[in-house]
Structure 1
Amino acid sequence: MNKARQAFSMLGILFLMSVLLLACGNTEEPAAGNAGAVNAGGNTAAGAAPSTEGTDNGAEAEAESAARSYTDYKGHTVEIPVHPQRIVYSGETYGDLVALGVKAAGYPLSMGEGQVFEEQLQGVEDVGFPINLEKTLELQPDLIIYAGTEESDFEALSKIAPTVIFNTFAPLEERMTEIGGILGKTEEAAAWLARYKADEAAMWEQLKAAGMKPGETASVFTYYPGDRLFIMAATGLSQVLYGENGFKATPPVQKLLDEGTGFEEISLEVLEQYAGDRIFVLTPVADEAKQSTESMLQSEIWKSLPAVKNGYVYTQDIMKTSSDATTREWLLQELPRLMNAQ
């Protein structure tokens, strides 16, 4: 799952600049005080003629074109739409938008393959990964939400539309509150979080009634290609397991959580140090990693673990354990089924 971002090609940059320069040459400059207030059709609020269709339509159009100042977590201050209409989203947690009832105009569709929210991507245009500048420009977004951290990427995308860099690895509550504000869905985000917390509490009560003991520990392992074994910490399924009223982490995993580490590579020889009372194995995508997983499951080290001897081992498709809000919501229903607690 190499998410390394490649440099944008010079051809893409030249194409982008030529189109933008052409557009600038054919567009009147917006009146002072309204710079950056762009509606979904690309017209400035200052340049738009007063509506003659009635005050309701005029008020609606004005609300859609309104802009506000926003500072992203990398320190960029940008004028963004109060109610964005055409969003290009490039990041790991598209399910956050789905949970808030928002469909993007563009998204790297390869990142959604096999995800819980995959069906919700119908009708969304593919902007590629790394993000394709020409395709993004073609979609005429009024807001770009980007998970990358390269300044060159930010500058290139900012020439297309207002762009913010979003921390898709932030904790769920922090992330949903932030994305709700960006999308003009603050109330919806707060309501979703309230429902999620209630459903999460109910799930833990269900698992405890089915035999989960206070203080039980849990661990999550997965293989990557190259025979690389990883212990998962502050990401994906672990974020659900180690939630309030949930499982405890073993001491080595707790150290990773305290450091904010998402995952760490370990050797099979130290597996016992990380293994909890219950073990979750994430089934990888690559065949090579699947073979490594099978070799681990047949090893004497694995068979000697208490969780294995007690039958407390559970497997789940790694693509169904992402950190996004839609997947997190789905996992609240999936965990009891996985652990035979229904």
Structure 2
Amino acid sequence: MRTIRRTMLYIVLTLTALALTACSNTNTTQESGTEASVAGTKGEPATRVVKDAFGEVTIPVEPKNMLVLSPSYAENMIEIGVIPNAVTLVKEIEPEYRPKLFNEHQVKMIQVEQYEDNFELLIEESPDLIIAQGAAIDAKKYEALSKIAPTVAVDAGITIEEYVPALGKLFGKEKEAELALQKYIDKIGDTKQKLHNSIGDAKILVIRVEQKQYRVLGQEKDSPGSDMLYHKLGLNIPTKLKDNHDWFTPISLEVLPELDADYIFVEQRQMQNYSSEQSMKDLESSPLWQGMNAVKKGQVYPLKTADFVDGEGLVGYPLFMDYLVEKLVK
């Protein structure tokens, strides 16, 4: 009798220990790391918790209608193997390649007004996840977006090297992000070598033609265009602008003769409901412009805002580098 009791007691203790071990393993799996997966209840999708620029947010494990508020983010997500369902964009300022890329991957393009928020339009899309640039939205806008759908304000800097790894981590595509970024870095190295072999220490000027003024590109680090030209590719800026570390600085046409530019790229500013046609005509008819060495030698090339500012991305910037090589490498 004692033997039977002992055997039964042993079985009970063994089963209890196994049950406690199973509970312990479950808790460890859910609580470890920076993300915690939460199994959905019957009929509800599974979710996970991620950290963004404003704290923690619970998002679907497998979103069915993901909306991205940044075209450059959407472009780079595609390049690492994450296809959003929709993206907001301003048609007038998008580079030509990007709508083609979105159409190819069946990403719905939602046209919005430049510099305006239209939350009603976003509500109509019924997203179950919104992806935004953490550096581009404030707490008030984040709160408004979060009322529409779970919103991730990606906590990363403004450069490709900063936010592509962050997107890779968010979607479990770290390796893909690393490979895509390395390909981009290799492209920069190859382009830099070609340009320096061709033009050496030649000075490159970028002049922006706006509706009521002219501006020149400076050497501000991490900003579109200036970072690529003067930092990553190591090209030289005209002597008078060497201490200019702003992004763009207004100038008068009277300054043009003082700029020792060997090559000039002219950006006729693109914006929604905007025209700089008259300013462009005034520039081209100016004797001061016509007297510049680069102009007299025919070493002046057009540059679209869409291509070197709005086209910042793993697809767009290699195309921009190809354009530089096309114009400067003889």
Q: TM-score, normalised to structure 2's length?
A: 0.71
Change beyond 3 A, Cα 1:169–1:301: farther
Unaligned runs of 5+ in 1: 1-32, 51-60
Matched, 1:119 2:100: yes
Looking at structure 2, the residues matched to 255 and 137 of structure 1 have their Cα atoms a distance apart, in angstroms, of 47
Change beyond 3 A, Cα 1:69–1:38: closer
Task: Specify the alignment match of 2:41 in structure 1.
Answer: 47
Q: Larger radius of gyration, structure 1 or 2?
A: 2
Matched, 1:267 2:248: no
Task: Specify the alignment match of 2:204 in structure 1.
Answer: 218
Task: Specify the alignment match of 1:69 in structure 2.
Answer: 50
Matched, 1:333 2:322: yes
Question: Aligned to 1:105, which of 66, 70, 85?
Answer: 85
Shifted more, 91-100 versus 186-195: the winner is: 91-100
Question: Aligned to 1:182, which of 140, 161, 170?
Answer: 170
Looking at structure 1, the residues matched to 61 and 293 of structure 2 have their Cα atoms a distance apart, in angstroms, of 54
Matched, 1:204 2:192: yes
Secondary structure of the 1:242 match is helix
RMSD over aligned CA atoms reads: 3.4
Task: Specify the alignment match of 1:303 in structure 2.
Answer: 290
Question: Aligned to 1:133, which of 112, 119, 123?
Answer: 119
C-alpha contact (below 8 Å) 2:209/2:276 kept by paired residues: yes
C-alpha contact (below 8 Å) 2:70/2:89 kept by paired residues: no
Change beyond 3 A, Cα 1:283–1:157: same
Matched, 1:95 2:75: yes
Looking at structure 2, the residues matched to 159 and 229 of structure 1 have their Cα atoms a distance apart, in angstroms, of 42
Looking at structure 1, the residues matched to 262 and 155 of structure 2 have their Cα atoms a distance apart, in angstroms, of 32
Secondary structure of the 1:108 match is strand
Looking at structure 2, the residues matched to 162 and 254 of structure 1 have their Cα atoms a distance apart, in angstroms, of 46
Unaligned runs of 5+ in 2: 1-29
Structure 1 position 155, deviation (Å):
0.7
Looking at structure 2, the residues matched to 256 and 98 of structure 1 have their Cα atoms a distance apart, in angstroms, of 36
Secondary structure of the 1:281 match is strand
**What letter corresponds to residue 143 of structure 2 in structure 1?**
E
Looking at structure 1, the residues matched to 254 and 157 of structure 2 have their Cα atoms a distance apart, in angstroms, of 29
Looking at structure 2, the residues matched to 167 and 303 of structure 1 have their Cα atoms a distance apart, in angstroms, of 47
State the percentage of identical aligned residues.
23
Looking at structure 2, the residues matched to 246 and 319 of structure 1 have their Cα atoms a distance apart, in angstroms, of 22
Instruction: Write 1 or 2 for the structure with the bigger share of helix.
Output: 2
Secondary structure of the 1:239 match is helix
- State how many pairs are aligned: 282
Change beyond 3 A, Cα 1:125–1:318: closer
Q: TM-score, normalised to structure 1's length?
A: 0.69
